[in-house]
Chains A and B, each alone.
Chain A
Amino acid sequence: MGDDDQHITEVGGTGVPIPGDDVDTDQILPAKFMKEVTFDNMADYLFYDARRDDDGEFNDHPLNRFEGANIAVVNQNFGCGSSREHAPQAMMRWGIDGVVGESYAEIFRDNCKSLGIPAVTADHETVTTLQEWIEANPDGDIEIDVEDATVTYGDRAVDVEITDAMQEALVEGIWDTTALMYSNMSKVERTVADLPYV
């Protein structure tokens, strides 16, 4: 592990504000679209219901207005509900490379880490200011510096929080944990040998 292309020190691009607290995974990726055995088409289903009006036409949902964005800016407890990785997979495949938010549901954040998507946090004011800035500057660049835990946009740079586990995993390129944990298989066997129920 630790191939060069696995190191994620910074991500950037234009932004998309996805306002609202407790945005759940049933909104992000409705269950009816999980009946596929691959994640290939998930981008098409991202916020499927929320993005459409009653006639099935695209409405003014931010994802429709900020097509091509790379950084999603969200509020509190984003990604709550189900454990479906379909949700961050859909975001990633739609083009999202990083998320700035007030807070995340834990499984959602873990899933982001597994996919190499930095999910950083900041306070309410910082986040809403950034969301407003995006509305005013749809073509403006936002950069998340994972190593320094900062977000830069316009002429501003703000400090953000990132969990140590996510920061290390992304910067060191060890966010794909399968091979990393596989290298410990002899230790796994010792742990298992000591479990009375196995």
Chain B
Amino acid sequence: MSQNTLYDKVWEKHKVAELPNGQDQLFIGLHLVHEVTSPQAFAMIEERDMEIAYPERTFATTDHIAPTEADKRERPLTDQQSEEMLSALERNTAENGITFFGFESGKQGITHVVAPELGLSQPGMTVACGDSHTATHGAFGSIGVGVGTSQIRDILATGCIAADKQKVRRIEVEGSLGEGVSAKDIILKIIQDLGVDGGVGHVYEYGGPAIRELDMEGRLAVCNMSIEGGARAGYINPDETTYDYLRGREYVPEGEAFEELKSYWESVRSDEDAEYDDVVTVNVADIDPLVTWGINPGQVVEVSQPVPAPEDFEARSDREAAEQALEHMDLEAGQSMLGYDVDVAFLGTCTNGRVTDFRRATEVLEGRQVADGVRALAVPGSETVRQRCEEEGLDEVFIDAGFQWRRAGCSMCLAMNEDSLEGDEVCASSSNRNFIGRQGSKDGRTVLMSPAMVAAAAVEGEVTDCRRFFEDSAHSLTADDVSEVAD
């Protein structure tokens, strides 16, 4: 059993009681709410004639259904169901004294982008949201967990969830990333190594040199996809990078109050002699950018590697999944992903919808054009991100290249708004899930990759190694290089 890790310390600090079934009652310090998973919970609270226990610790915004075209955000929304969901959230937050970041606030966006950039997510907190990507907030050294709607009801009514304490796996990420390789590639590599269910029963503590070198936005991308590896939460111990990021943000206190909080943040770091349930090492020194070739995020290869054959996998379940994936993606084993035609390029989401992600993409797009026939969308993770990008002139780079520059929302990650794949379109996507049907069409095909790789795919109209667009890169690969590997 783990001891003296950040997870142990933050858990103890928030543990209210042990429940009769052996679970712990855990206080949630930050509850994030969006329109899709909360209305049923608010209704349950009303039915039971209960009050919201901690409205001041609860913050809401709208993301899943948010239209991303400016003129489609006029109220009432054209889509009646979306309007109903948004209105319900407005009503529920107003009636209960909960802060709501709506379209008019200038701060609307994806919960997991908004809370970090406003300084709501801080080290040593417990964070919950009715969304599995709540692990994102672990980037600050907090415990972030996705919950279902009945648990949202629990939090609204009591500020708490009933939870099982998990095992803690330390993932030591060694090496230093090469040019054109990013945080997204680190987490895809980890999921490739440990599998999509490797983290079940665990939280992941990410550490080591490659993690320390990441800026906060990179760390958020890594923690974001913990759930794709089966780990309900993932976190990184806070350090100066974390504190520098937090200083001056809207919900972070200043001066002495900041220093006091910082001493708490320092105190929750995993001790040098902390005990972990297990430790695994992943070396990222020589990795190439990764892309998925299948229908779950574990079906992923470095872009230099051929698509594996079902018989390459030991486990029966992996072999079956590989067969299904090859069929859905219309791929042959041994084929390279380089040169795989794409119809849509989608940049954004709670994984890669932050300012540095858009900056990285513009490095590729500057002075280049989206290939003919490719539909390219750049969707900022929040309106704050959008404004910041526009101040830097990044929007113009996207527009000049032929991208559509949109308003904030979850957009084509799960296609609950108008942004959707059609038929069997292939999407080069900076999102986090490549499940069948995920992007709105049951025959649609998703290839997950980093923002720079999405931009490169948009320009070429096919999966390509983004490093060929970076100066001084010795590593750009073509499909020919890969067929040699395959031979």
Tell me, in angstroms, the Cα distance from A89 to B44 when the chains sit together. Answer: 14
Question: Are A83 and B20 neighbours in the complex by a CB distance under 8 Å?
Answer: no
Q: Are A181 and B36 in contact (CB under 8 A)?
A: no
Q: How far is the CA of A34 from the CA of B53 in the complex (A)?
A: 27
Q: How large is the interface on A (under 10, 10 to 19, 20 to 34, 35 or more residues)?
A: 35 or more
Query: For the complex, is A106 an interface residue (Cβ under 8 Å from B)?
Result: yes
On whether the beta carbons of A188 and B150 are closer than 8 Å, the reply is no
B435 at the interface (CB under 8 A from A): yes
A14 at the interface (CB under 8 A from B): no
- Check: B317 CB closer than 8 A to any chain A CB: yes
Contact (Cβ within 8 A) B296 A22: yes
Q: Given A37-B88, A197-B124, does the pair A111, B148 have CB atoms closer than 8 Å?
A: yes
B25 with A184: CB separation less than 8 A: yes
Within 8 A of B (CB), among A78-123: 80-86, 88-89, 103, 105-107, 110-111, 114-115
**B29 and A83 form a contact (CB under 8 A):** no
Q: Do the beta carbons of A34 and B150 come within 8 Å of each other?
A: no
CA A21 to CA B158, docked complex, whole Å? 36
- Judge whether A35 and B132 touch: CB under 8 Å: no
List of A residues within 8 angstroms of B416 by Cβ: 31-32, 34-35
Q: Does A136 contact B (CB under 8 A)?
A: no
**Known interface pairs A22-B321, A24-B296; A37-B162 also in contact (CB < 8 Å):** no
Closest CB of chain A to B393's CB: distance in Å?
34
Whether B37 and A105, one on each chain, are in contact in the complex, defined by CB atoms closer than 8 angstroms, is no
Contact (A165, B25) CB under 8 Å given A114-B150, A181-B162 = no
| Closest beta carbon of chain B to A58's beta carbon, Å | 15
A31 touches B415 (CB 8 A): yes
B22 at the interface (CB under 8 A from A): yes
With a cutoff of 8 Å between Cβ atoms, the chain B residues found around residue A178 in the complex are: 44, 48, 50, 153-154, 157-158
CA A176 to CA B20, docked complex, whole Å: 12
Q: Which residues of B contact A82 (CB under 8 A)?
A: 131-132, 146, 414, 433
B147 touches A107 (CB 8 A): yes
> A residues bordering B, Cβ < 8 Å?
20-22, 24, 26-27, 30-32, 34-39, 49, 75-77, 80-86, 88-89, 103, 105-107, 110-111, 114-115, 163-169, 172, 174, 176-178, 180-182, 184-185, 187-188, 191-192, 194-198
The 9 closest A-B pairs by CB, nearest first: A168-B21, A114-B150, A85-B148, A111-B148, A83-B146, A35-B81, A21-B317, A37-B39, A85-B149
Sample of 15 more A-B contacts, CB < 8 Å, known A83-B147, A105-B197, A197-B124: A26-B435, A75-B317, A85-B148, A105-B230, A107-B232, A114-B150, A168-B20, A172-B20, A180-B20, A181-B16, A181-B25, A188-B16, A188-B25, A188-B53, A195-B27
The contact sample of 25 A-B pairs, CB cut-off 8 A, is: A21-B317, A22-B197, A27-B435, A32-B416, A32-B440, A35-B85, A36-B81, A37-B88, A77-B230, A81-B435, A82-B146, A83-B37, A105-B200, A107-B132, A107-B146, A111-B150, A164-B21, A178-B48, A181-B25, A182-B157, A184-B17, A188-B27, A195-B13, A197-B124, A198-B29
